[in-house]
Each structure stands twice: as structure tokens, then as C-alpha cells.
Chains A and B, each alone.
Chain A
Amino acid sequence: MRRGVPGLGGLSPIVLYVVLFALLPPCLLFAEAWSSQGGAAGLSGVLADPLNRAALGNSLIQGALSSVVVVAIGYPAGVFLGRYSFSGREAILALFSVPFLLPSLVVVAGVEDLFGPSGFLSVPIPGLRALGSGLGGILLVNACFNLPLVALLTAVGVESSDPAREEAIAVLGGGPGRAYREVWGPPSWVGAGAGALLTFLFSSMAFAAPLIVCGPRCYTLEARIFTLDQQLVQPATAALLAMSAVALLAVPTAIYLLLVTRLRDRTPVGTARNRPIPWRRPVGWALAGATAVTVALVAAVAGAVAERALLAPSTGGAGLFSPALTQRLGISTSAALGNTMFFAAGAAGIAVLFGLLAGFVLRIRPSWSRPVQFLLFLPLLISPIILSFSLAEFWRPLLGGESTVWLLILLSQATLALPFATQSLWVGLRRVPASFGEGARLLGARPITAFLDTELPLARGALVSAALLAFALGLGEFTATYFLATPRFTTWTVELYRLQSLRDYAAADQLAFALLALSFVSFLGLLVGGRRVRL
């Protein structure tokens, strides 16, 4: 009996999904804009526009500066967490997952609450107002999101180094500097490098922070594309600018993929287990200080949102659910919550399903690792605005207009969560020895049965972690949802932005707090499972 190509059945739906919902729509959008705008001449014209050039410059500057800032603080923090053992270490590692689970608007609200015109810190110390608006505010928001990520990725790199090699260097007379250069430094650089690139990708295409904290003078390409399509009704120009954005992101995305693959290929060995913090040396204090700064930033932002929400409302939660507000927004807060939960749960389901399919394919076809990874990480290249823009242009006419907006929101959230959910799942699956599945196959189980019966139960924690991560990402997703949503399909993040636009700050603070609480539930789920975000 001859068999077909094993794994092809599992790979086909993944290819189909990525092509139909992540690859084809932007490609067709770009091709159409390219031909309608006169090809290269049209593109030159778009790039010659001073506002577009400013957006490109802002993307590069904000991306680069954010990367530098977060690596400067996040790298020592990551070394501290990856290398030393101390009580509370696991709690800090879990806490560092929080920003990634927080909606961007909540972080922006937190930064404004701390450093805005009436901020907790900027009122007593006016000099800190620079951190509540303009480029300073944007950098702070980006740092809040990405600082813990760089620290986590650096810690993973440090943990993957081999302690036996370090001991061998020590007994042969090599000092700490040599051990750093030859053993644990290089993997930590890989982790920090991956974190820096991820920071660049996120920050250069940030949407909420430039929009709210600074305004048009700080618009990134993402915000400018949104403006061109949604406000100035120039979709072809927006598409050509989006094409430039994809080209800009291609190289950092490729390098990030390379680095994160290296990181995943290394098995963590837990060097931190038995090494105490070197309090007698200045480096110990410096590393602990960087960690404390990161912890303080995360805690302060989350705390500011919580405190503002708890202090502000004289109306309790009633204002948020009042008929007057429903009339102004066109949707009730409870209906928006329903939308939020539906999209987040649906997106998590889709992302985990494809992550699982990919995991199964890689178990029986390890040699396909690179192409499958490339396929699933392709959405990283496509920012939320570009994805939603192209989905709307390509699929909305085919699917029948406004009534299918929900489907486009669901698909965009799922596609954006796909790389992160997959990565989280793969890290768990890689730790399950292949021989369990092989053993089941030798007992007569079909490959998929062997995978579901014997391998997946052992990666249950990673599965839960991936699902919660995808759910939390959907929960906080603002950019793509805002681009696509009509009032009927408004989510809480979109409602929050609209409340801020309407200057209903009391209701906005309450909603931000509710979003924070929802994210906290996801965080608790991760914490109970003893998991960390894997990127």
C-alpha cells in the first residue's frame, strides 16, 4: 500500500487560510493600486508627498528609538531574570506577560493618567509631562508594551545556555567575562535581538499611541494609511503606501523569524535555578535596578488605570450602561462586550486550530519546519491596518457588504493572533519527545490519533496558554477592528476610543478598567498554568 505525502492533508488548510486571508488580499490590493496609479511613477509620487514622507520618517524614528530604549533597560532585566534565582522570580516573569495582554488603548490611558495634563505624577512633578504627550509619550507607551517582551526573550536566551560549559570554563581558569562571551552572552543577544526587532515591528506601525498621545505630526505609516483610506478617501494612495510599509517590514520580520527560530531550537536548561543574585557586586544591583524599572513601569500603568477608574466615577458603572450612552454610540456597552467576547473567542479558536494543525504537520514532517513557520508568521509582515484594509477591499464585495463585517473582524483578529498563538503552542509541543507519538503509531494508531492521544495531552499547558494568549490579543485588538467595525459590531476597545473622542472620560476610565480586568483574568489563567508568553 502506497501512501500520499504525509502531512499534506494537515498543511493544505493552513496554506489555504493564509493565502486567502493574509496573502492574496494585500497582493491584489497592491497590484490594483500599482496599475491604477501608473506603477513606479505612482509610487514615487506617493512617497514624494511630504505627509507620507513624514509618516515614513516617524515610523523609522519611533521604531528605532523604541528599540534602543527597551533594549537598554530590557536586556539587563532579562539577564537578571534568566540568570539568577530569587523568590518572586516566577511572579515577575508572569507579570511581564501582562502588557502583551493589555489593550493598547488601556496602556495609552494609563500613560495619560500618569503623565498627562492632570496625571498622578505630572501634577506634582511638571517636568514629567513630556512623557505624557508627543514623542516622549509614544516612546513610553511603546516601552510599556515592549520592555517586558525584550526582558522575557533575553531571559529565554540566557536560560538556554549550557551551565556545564560555563562550569568547564570556570574550572579551566576562565573568568566571568569569558563565560559571558563564550557561553551565555550569545544566546542572550539572540533573545534581545529578537525582542528589539519585535519592538521595531510593533512600534514602527503603532496606531493608537500616535493617534491619541501625539496627533497627526507623529503619525506612523499605519495611522497615515488609515487617514488616507478612511478620512481622505484615497484608497489607491493608501494601498501604495501600505506596499511601502510591507517592504519596510520585510527585512526586520525575516531577521526576527531567523532569531526566534534559533531561540526555539535551543532547549532551555534553567541556568537560573541555583545561582544567587551577586549583591556584593555592582552588576547585581544594576541588573536588579533595570528589572525594578520594568516592574514599576508595568505596575504603574496598570495601577493608574485601576485607580482612575475606581476614584473617578460618581455614577458607578451606571453611566457606562446608560441608555443615553447607548444612543450616542449606537450600541450598548453590554452588546459591545458580547461582540468583544465573540471575536476574541472565535479568533482564539481559529488561531489555535491552525496552530494545532501546524503542530501536527511538524510532528510528522519536521523537515517542513521552515516553510510552515514562514507561512504562519507571514501575518507579522502585514500590519493590522493593512490587513483590515485589504480584507475589506477584497472580501467585502465578495461576501456581500456590511452584514459580513463580523466575519472580516473575526478573520483579521485570528490572523493577527496566529503567529503568537502558534509560537506558544510549538514551544510546548517541542518539549514532548517524538517517541510518544511514534510509540502510539507502532501500536496501530493513525498519525493524527497518535498526536491527539499521546502528544497533545502532554502539551496541554501550552495549548491553554496559546488559547488564552490569542483570546487576550483579540480582546485588546483595536486597530483592525476600528478600521472594519460598524456601530453594530463595535467592541470594547473601539467603544473606549469613541468615548475618549467624545471626551466622556469618566465612562472611558470605567471601560478601560473593565478591559484591564478582563485582561487580568486571561493573565490569571496564564499564571495558574505557570506559563509565560512565548514570542
Chain B
Amino acid sequence: MSASELLRIRDLSSAWAGVPVLRHVSLEVAEGEFLALMGPNGSGKTTLLRLIAGLDEPTGGSVELRGRDLVGVPAHRRGIGMLFQDAQLFPERSVWENVAYGPQIQRRPAAEVESLVTEMLELLRLRSLADRRPEELSGGERQRAALARTLAPGPSVVLLDEPFASVDAELRREMRAEFRRVLSARRTAAIFVTHDRDEGLFLGDRVAVLLDGELRQTGSPADVFEHPIDERVARFLGYNIVPAPAGPMAVDPSELTLARSGEPGVSAAVVARGWSPQGTGLLVRAADGSVWEVVLPKDEVGPPVGSTVQIRWQRGVPLATSLDRDRPHME
């Protein structure tokens, strides 16, 4: 484990009723790092967080925090914080009491608890809400209070399980900035789970893509987005997978266009046409059955549904060959 390495996960596996949910996941998180763990619903993201937190037991593998093996250590002795999707503030307690809960459990002196809670409330701009009960808070305020409560005991790493899933789009942007600001100020490492590609790529110092219980790729947001390792990762990132002479290629929807007469292209049938903020959106079905998304310039109406068109692309990302495809890629 290197000097800056905080959390190391090795070959972590889990199963539910005999069915594998996570398969040999290995991952590292450095001190102060913000890792975005991305994947579609049901890919095993929450399971991975629960295993790291000690809420569930793995069927194999290890979790080390600063070199200390955590397997077998109960959740309350791990020093890992976790923020749930729906905040789960204790409804019987005020915001102040919620934030004070962790330090009080640690039996810190009352004056220290007081000062710590005050600091947390100020950091998250909750001072005026200290006496309120959770049901008197808005969705965003509840999440901020939950983060304050999670950070108060001073965890080494914080696990954030889709914390913005239940807030509206406008508030989400605000909350992203707020969470990054606070975690950076505290220099606390975090694993942030999301199924939202844009959110993960925007927030993460590094991103990790988890698909069907396997960690397929980790790297910087730019690396992962520009060089998806295989078809599955590329599809999750929103690429169209198109055939090319050298093998399959990932092409961003904005790079697909309709071929003009005489230009080479791949034949496809238009199955749907609609409006999108970037322009007219088309869904076309290629001869191999795959469906691609095409975005036409705003001034183009596009061909009617049912018509056959020729599709071409400017550029794309060559994907790994079939031999490499099943081998997860790590930095």
C-alpha cells in the first residue's frame, strides 16, 4: 500500500441466495480522493458500499483501511461513514442532535461535541436549522444535514450512495458543488455512487465503472470517457457501437450523421424521430439489429419513421478485440 493509499479492496465478492452479485472487485482510494463509482441500476454499486461499510459480509476478498484488514470488523468499529440515498436522519431528533450523535457515541467531552457540531453546521450552512426536526427540512437540507452527521465523527472515508437521487435537477447542481466543497475542505476521501454518467464524470477525481458485479474500468474521467475499454462500458457511457473494418467502434451520437447521396454509409431503418436539446434526434436500427442514436443539426427535420437511411460517422473510439473484451481494465 503506497503512502497516499487509504482504502484497498482486493477480490471482493458477494452473492445473494447463491447468485453472484459482485465478482472479484479490486479498487484503491487515495487520501482525500473523490472516486465516482458508476454503473446502471442493479450493477452492484450499493452492495459494494455495504461491504466496504461492514453492513454486509463478503463471500471472499478483503477490505483494508490504511493497511488494516477490515474483514470481520463490525461496522461501528470501521471508522467509515456512509450517506444513504434518502438521508435517513433520525426522525425523533433535531438536526443538532443528529449531527451530535456520532461524537456523543465516541464519548467526546460535551464542549468538544458542541464545538464540532457547530463547526459542521456552519460548514454546511445549517446553523439556523439546528433545532428543526428532519420532517421540517427540504430534501436538500436533509441531505446536507445527513452529510454533516456523517462527517462529524471524523470518518477516514465517506461512502455516498446516490445522495442526490431524490432531489430535483436544479438542486442537484447546487448539491454537487456543495458536497465537493465540503469534502475538499475536510480533505475526506469519498466513494460516490451514481448511475448518472454526467454526474459521475463531472464529480470524480477518478471514475470506476461497475457492470454486472464486475469492475470493468477505472481511470480519470477523460480517460474513461475517451477510451472505453469495451462495448459494455461504451454503451453505459452513451456511445453507439458501430461496425468498422478493424472491429467495433464506439461513436458518440453527435458524430453519427446521415450520408448524402454518393457517400459511403451503413444502411439502417428509422424507428423513431423526436426533439432533443442538441437537435433532431433519430433512433435507427442497423442490419445487425442494434439501435443507434443520431443527432441531426437543429435545422434538419430528418427522414420519416420507416424510411431507410445511410449512416456514416466522422470519428470513433476503436474498442478492444473480443480476446480482450472480458478482461477488466485497470489503470
Question: Which A residues lie at the B interface, using CB under 8 A?
Answer: 1-3, 6, 433, 435-436, 438-447, 449-450, 453-454, 457-458
Contact = CB atoms under 8 A, between A and B. Distances in A.
B80 A442 contact: yes
B76 A3 contact: no
A73 B74 CA distance: 52
Given A2-B72, A3-B72, A433 B88 contact: yes
Contacts of A458: 91-92
A439 B73 contact: no
A440 B146 CA distance: 12
* Residue of A439, A441, A442 ringed by the most chain B CB atoms within 10 A: A442
Contacts, number: 69
Contacts of B73: 1, 3
B301 interface: no
Interface of B: 53, 55, 72-78, 80-82, 84, 86, 88, 90-92, 101-102, 105-106, 149-150, 152-153
B76 A444 contact: yes
Nearest to A3: B74
A441 B88 CA distance: 13
Contacts of A447: 74, 76
Instruction: Tell me whether chain A's interface is mostly helix, strand or loop, or mixed.
Output: helix
23 contacts: A1-B72, A1-B73, A1-B77, A438-B75, A439-B82, A439-B90, A440-B101, A440-B105, A441-B55, A441-B76, A442-B75, A442-B80, A442-B82, A442-B150, A443-B76, A443-B81, A443-B149, A444-B77, A445-B76, A445-B101, A445-B105, A446-B76, A458-B91
Nearest to B81: A442
Contacts of A435: 84, 86, 88
B105 A436 contact: no
Nearest to A6: B74
B48 to A, nearest CB: 15
B72 A443 contact: no
A454 B102 contact: no
A453 B82 CA distance: 18
A433 to B, nearest CB: 7
B72 A442 contact: no
Best-surrounded residue of A1, A6, A457 (most CB of chain B within 10 A): A1
Contact of B76 (A436, A442, A454): A442
Contacts of A446: 76
A35 to B, nearest CB: 45
Given A442-B76, A458-B92, 15 more contacts: A1-B73, A2-B72, A3-B72, A439-B84, A439-B88, A440-B90, A442-B53, A442-B150, A443-B76, A443-B101, A443-B149, A443-B150, A444-B153, A449-B105, A457-B92
B88 A444 contact: no
Contact of B102 (A3, A433, A436, A444): A444
A493 B53 CA distance: 54
A438 B105 contact: no
Nearest to B106: A444
A453 B55 CA distance: 18
